Structure 1
């Protein structure tokens, strides 16, 4: 039986995390000896050879371009790790070997860093993105203050505390007998099919969200739903909740606003998609994606 976490991106991390519950005086100085830095230049992460966890001196060349505070992520191997965002022009400062810049999706797809670094990078990207979007109080509009090493923002006017958010998304492998339902969004690469997915709505259970999304996109009604596995998805900050579900209907009526196509596929067809040998050149998402893991579980009889 294959290990779903062997290829699943962003699920492994050796970071001893900081949190909003820890006081400000527990945050070390960014200049402390042995400090490490995750640096984003625009939408790209700075890599030194096969790692995106830089020594403090490696980040010094972009100091003047760093925007905002340095976020304290926690400790790695006993050393403090910070994350910082820099203007996109900072990428030019890392154009020479041993440095390069890559976006996080490419890093995960190509295996450009060790697998256990991906969880830490997902935390850094999600948190930096949250700060970039939440500089003002949603309650009164006042500019908020950076607190708890970056795991909280506080409003000096109305005293409201703001915390990083994670948006839950259900993604489901719908099966009917020996076939499963896969679709392709209008924005997908030509030939790629994946599991259906959608955001969980307020006041909704996971099971209800699976049923609603499936029906809205394909008019297929859903019976039993089971949890399979999950994956942080830092684009910008979601948690993919992987499920399997029983399809009660054969006919598919795809919503053209959501799907360019949807079909039932048997196990051999899905296996061919995973192995990039389908006769129609159809293929699955890459191994780092939870949809790939769910499709492989179906092929191996574990869904």
Structure 2
């Protein structure tokens, strides 16, 4: 079974990190007619004709921070990160609304787009030194910033988050069920696998157990690794796990989670077909976790 979330990280570009300080090479690569640039305003992009709008460098704005993404398909790829005010008018979207444009033929561009928007978000949100409050200036083709006052260097951060398919019952039996939860702000019928951020000093497996217990009261025993997915919303790496519950008893916290339920395969099949249960989108690792457990594709998505 091919998991859609893995396609978003397939065929990665060569990040050519050794070229980030080579100003002559960067200038030559930027000027090359085959070079392509993604203009990012703040952390938003404006799709054109349902595609990601890569343009020649001659069509990129003269302002902003030039970010080297790397090489692929015989050309060099950049992002031009401009101020959020550049995104005037309709059509500018964040990464979540851009995801549908990265399915199908556009999926091969996902690693480049995630790289671009992840750095753009970091540059947009990180403008002052956390030590002295001095102004930060981008360096290394957008992959580092340095304080103009204390000269301390800052680097992009990635926040690890766990997302898990928690099951109870004899594996593969008709009684085996998958734990899904929902928040009140979600539309009716929308449920997802549980997820949460890893805390300092915590292992990934313990983060799975803690998050499930905090949100639903379910005690988890065995935890095994499933896969991962870059997720620049704004700067996460989603680490997927499978887990086995020691008991089916649920007590939702009422804060992060308003409802949680066990779904057997039969109930999931029936309710998704009827539109009563709406699962996460096909490109998400949550969807991959659900369909891996279910054993095949399911209808409907967010």
Q: Which residue of 2 aligns with 1:44?
A: 44
**Residue pair 1:69, 1:146 contacting (<8 A) in 2 also:** yes
Higher strand content, 1 or 2 = 1
Q: Which residue of 2 aligns with 1:176?
A: 168
The 5-angstrom pairing of residues 234-249 of structure 1 reads 234-249=232-247
Q: Which residue of 2 aligns with 1:133?
A: 125
Q: Which of 99, 102, 109 is the equivalent residue of 1:108?
A: 99
Q: Aligned to 1:24, what secondary structure does the other structure show?
A: coil
Gaps of 5+ in 1: none
Q: Which residue of 1 aligns with 2:76?
A: 80
Q: Aligned to 1:251, what secondary structure does the other structure show?
A: coil
**What is the Cα deviation at residue 88 of structure 1?**
5.3
**Residue pair 2:224, 2:242 contacting (<8 A) in 1 also:** yes
**What is the Cα deviation at residue 260 of structure 1?**
1.7
Q: Are the structure 2 counterparts of residues 91 and 129 from structure 1 closer, same or farther at C-alpha, using a change threshold of 3 Å?
A: closer
Q: Output the TM-score relative to the length of structure 2.
A: 0.85
Deviations 1:101-159 (A, max 9, x none): 54432332353861011121111111001011111111111112211111111223323
**Residue pair 2:31, 2:57 contacting (<8 A) in 1 also:** no
Worse-matched range after superposition: 81-90 or 117-126:
81-90
**What is the Cα deviation at residue 268 of structure 1?**
2.0
Structure 2 distance, partners of 1:56, 1:242, is 38
Work out whether 1:284 is the aligned partner of 2:279: yes
Work out whether 1:159 is the aligned partner of 2:157: no
The 5-angstrom pairing of residues 257-296 of structure 1 reads 257-272=255-270, 276-278=272-274, 281-296=276-291
**What is the Cα deviation at residue 205 of structure 1?**
0.2
Q: Aligned to 2:119, what secondary structure does the other structure show?
A: helix
Structure 2 distance, partners of 1:142, 1:254, is 44
In the alignment of these two chains, the number of paired residues is 285
**What is the Cα deviation at residue 295 of structure 1?**
0.3
State the Cα RMSD in Å: 2.4
Q: Which residue of 1 aligns with 2:21?
A: 24
Q: Aligned to 1:17, what secondary structure does the other structure show?
A: coil
Structure 1 distance, partners of 2:232, 2:270, is 29
**What is the Cα deviation at residue 40 of structure 1?**
2.0
Q: Aligned to 2:215, what secondary structure does the other structure show?
A: helix
Structure 2 distance, partners of 1:44, 1:271, is 36
Q: Which residue of 1 aligns with 2:66?
A: 70
Q: Output the TM-score relative to the length of structure 1.
A: 0.85
